[in-house]
Structure 1
Amino acid sequence: MGSKKLVAYFSASGVTAKLAKELAEAAGADLYEIQPRQPYTSADLDWTDKKSRSSIEMSDPDSRPAISGKVENMELYDTVFVGFPIWWYEAPGIIHTFLESYDFSGKTLIPFATSGSSGMGETDSILKKYCSSETKWKPGKRFGSADKGALKSWIDSLGL
């Protein structure tokens, strides 16, 4: 039996959702949207407002925005791509919530992010803190945009 893959993603504006759908298709993976229990409004996402919801969440390392729903049968997946937009040079707090919600022991996790200009920063090392030491990690990748050919090349380079 081949390896079963999942692309789990959080998207605030639709950019990460578009990439996640293309990645799932290129990887032959199932797709799961990480949805906040309380959806973000455009005011919530205003990073220039220090009192906006996203600014408050990102300034508090203990912030864990609640997720609506769960991945059915997570135990069936051995490879999980986790996608998100870069916020303040790292993954949004909802990704921490997601990673703490499951046991990824023995699974391979591969972060991917969307950003117009910000890199991944310390995202990989930060995310590893939220999983078991028995989780296998592949280096994360930031995409400004990518076509299916570029995604397929990246997937192939991972040696899954």
Structure 2
Amino acid sequence: MSKSLVAYFSVSGSTRKVAQRLAKVAGADLFEIVPEQPYTAADLDWTDRNSRSTRERDPKCRPAVASTCENMADYDTVYVGFPIWWYVAPTIINTFLEAYDLAGKRVVPFATSGGSRMGGTVAALEPSAPGATFAAGDALNGASDAKLEAFVKANA
């Protein structure tokens, strides 16, 4: 029997709300990806070239996470949610993925954004989970329950 996890990173709460609803629709467990060092408003100022989020655009950057999912081996499908930053997932998502052996698992990215789509997200994440099968994913801003159900069905 297949078991699913919805893991998510949320700063403003938008991704958290979608992740909670997605977990309910998918019958999945929920795990929050929490940064070891919380983000401040100044850290998130994308107009400041020296802000933390701007510096973390570097694909080599790996912000630390506060905890790990102790039972990752139990899951066959891992939905991974995040806000889109500069057309890709924040690099803390790479940190999360690299903490586990996801070979043989299905990774389904989903995002929230003020207007961006998934962009190059999957291509940027795939190297962080060798051997995993990645779905194309989708932006789920304001998704209805029907859209979430269709998303789960399409990625089963």
- What per-residue deviation string (whole Å, max 9, x for no partner) do you get for residues 58-117 of structure 1? 1x2211000001102110001000000000110001001001110101111000000121
Name the CA distance, whole Å, in 1 between partners of 2:6 and 2:86.
Answer: 23
Greater shift, 33-42 or 135-144, is seen at: 135-144
Normalising by structure 2, we get a TM-score of 0.97
2:91 aligned partner, one-letter code: G
Matched, 1:113 2:116: no
1:147 paired residue among 122, 144, 148: 144
1:101 paired residue among 96, 99, 102: 99
Name the CA distance, whole Å, in 1 between partners of 2:127 and 2:38.
Answer: 26
Name the CA distance, whole Å, in 1 between partners of 2:61 and 2:23.
Answer: 29
Task: Flag structure 2 segments of 5+ consecutive residues without an equivalent.
Answer: none
Greater shift, 116-125 or 7-16, is seen at: 116-125
Greater shift, 2-11 or 141-150, is seen at: 141-150
Structure 2 counterpart of 1:51: 50
1:144 offset after TM fit, Å? 2.2
Task: Flag structure 1 segments of 5+ consecutive residues without an equivalent.
Answer: none
Moved over 3 A (4+): none
- Provide the identity percentage: 54
1:95 aligned partner, one-letter code: I
2:115 aligned partner, one-letter code: S
Normalising by structure 1, we get a TM-score of 0.95
Name the CA distance, whole Å, in 2 between partners of 1:156 and 1:3.
Answer: 13
Name the CA distance, whole Å, in 2 between partners of 1:18 and 1:63.
Answer: 27
